[in-house]
Amino acid sequence: MIGILIVAHGSLADSLVDCAAHVLGQRPEKLATLDFIGHADPDERQKALQSRLAELDEGDGILVLTDVYGATPSNTLCRLLEPAHIEGISGVNLPMLIKALNYRDSLPLPQLIVKIVEGGRNSINHISETMCHAATGR
């Protein structure tokens, strides 16, 4: 099973996992978080990230979802990436996480990444009156 780690600022990672557990009816296994709160030593953050990655590694790969590209969570991950084994996607949102959880057992990591990025982009919509009428049939 592909492990999934969410690394984000504040309590965003924990909140996303709570939301996913609510939607799915249970907390998924091999799903972990690492919240970056305040200003910590970069080496300490990297060690914490390495530890979480080791906990999730069952050999099928690990997908790391971060909040903002170029910020501390993604920059810390950049030093630990291993193509086709430890991969990262920035811009995490709930639809991306749900898609990752639903497809991680049926797709290899490289294909899962494509599916998640596409799903994340497609989940961003302007909620207009026309869109609401189409969804509700009114």
Q: How far is CA 30 from CA 27, 51, 55, 60, in A?
A: 9, 14, 8, 11
Mean pLDDT of the region 20-45: 92
The confidence score (pLDDT) of residue 80 equals 96
Kindly list the structural domains of the chain, giving each domain's residue range(s) and its CATH number in brackets, ordered by start: 3-136 (3.40.50.510)
User: For 101-118, how does the pLDDT look when each residue is reduced to its tens digit (9 = 90+)?
Assistant: 999 999 999 999 999 999
Instruction: Give the pLDDT score at 11.
Output: 95
Averaged pLDDT, 47-60 = 96
Which position has the higher pLDDT, 134 or 55? 55
Sort 45 into a burial class: Cβ within 10 Å, 0-12 / 13-18 / 19+.
middle
